[in-house]
Structure 1
Amino acid sequence: MMDITVRTISDLHSEIIRLEKLKQQQEIDLKQRFSSPSSIFSIVKSFFPRSNKGGSSILDQDFLGLISRVALPFTLNRTLFKGSGFLVKTLVGLVSQKASTYISEDSVTGVWDKAKGLITGLLSKKNKKPAPAPEPDFSKAS
């Protein structure tokens, strides 16, 4: 910043005018910066910085991960912890928020494929008919 010394009343008036013009210019710059939805979204996204430790921010999760951040605590508090108090529901919410970072489309499809493989394996064993026993060959009797 510039240090302007104000010695007279005219210096004060000129400084007030300069500061008002500076204020108007800054308002114009801010209006341009927030003019489009994408610029607003990028500013909001900047509030959630990426972690350098390999972690991910909230907005880096896929769709299933974002849904699970809301659905998992809601479902647990409505079913398993229905009669619980405020403190237990808060703890469930915090723990399920942390657990939802591990839920992604890849992890869900991996679990689904394993379950499907187990079910088809069990069904194929159940539906498999035992092989018929070979009939004895009496023509070679000694």
Structure 2
Amino acid sequence: MDLAVKNITDLQSEIIRLEKLKQQQEMDLKERFNSPSSIFSAFKSLFPEHNGPKTGSIFNQDIWGLLSRVVLPFALNKTLFKGQGVLVKTLVGLVSQKASSYISEDSVTGVWDKAKDLVTGIFKKATHKAEQEHPVKSAVL
């Protein structure tokens, strides 16, 4: 709303209008970001998902690939290659940057599902073995 300010009362009314507009926008933002899930979805919208083939570019990766670009070299240099020289740490950084292009949401969920199936399979075998050793006697009615 472009109003020509010609006197002090026009200026004061415009200031009041802008303050009310500011308060309304603040309330709208607070309402939009009132829960952690809404904040996470707003953050996630910064990283668009691509359904096509993934390339090695940093802009074509999902959040897991971007995180692995930072976390993987840091974790390797702080644990396995602690105390090594600059050359070794640089090579680890370069190799882990290349390896991070293969890390995606699909690969992380695939590994998670395999681990979950492995653990549930172990527990199923253990309970089945325990049932065979100590069968429950059924009561005859």
The two structures have a TM-score, normalised by structure 2, of: 0.55
Which residue in the other structure is 1:28 paired with?
27
| Aligned ranges 1:50-129 → 2 under 5 Å | 50-51=49-50, 54-55=53-54, 57-59=61-63, 70-71=71-72, 73-75=74-76, 78-80=79-81, 82-85=83-86, 89-90=89-90, 92-103=92-103, 104=107, 106=110
Query: What is the one-letter code of the residue matched to 1:32?
Result: E
> What is the Cα-based RMSD across aligned positions, in Å?
3.6
Asked whether 1:47 is paired with 2:51, we answer: no
Residue 34 of structure 1 deviates from its aligned partner by 0.5
Identity %: 54
Structure 1 outlier segments of 4+, above 4 Å: 66-69, 105-109
Larger Rg: 1
| Total equivalences in the alignment | 104
**Secondary structure of 2:102's partner?**
coil
Please give the alpha-carbon distance, in whole angstroms, between the structure 1 residues aligned to 2:111 and 2:100: 11
Q: Tell me how far 1:3 sits from its aligned partner.
A: 1.4
Q: Please list every run of 5 or more consecutive structure 1 residues that lacks an aligned counterpart in the other structure.
A: 110-142
C-alpha distance after superposition, 1:23-69 (max 9, x if no partner): 000000000011011100001111222347533533366xxxx6797
- Counterpart Cα distance in 2 of 1:70 and 1:21: 45
TM-score of the pair, normalised by structure 1: 0.54
Q: Which amino acid aligns with 1:54?
A: P
Distance 1:48 1:35 in 2: 21
Partner of 2:15: 16
Output the amino acid matched with 1:43.
Answer: A
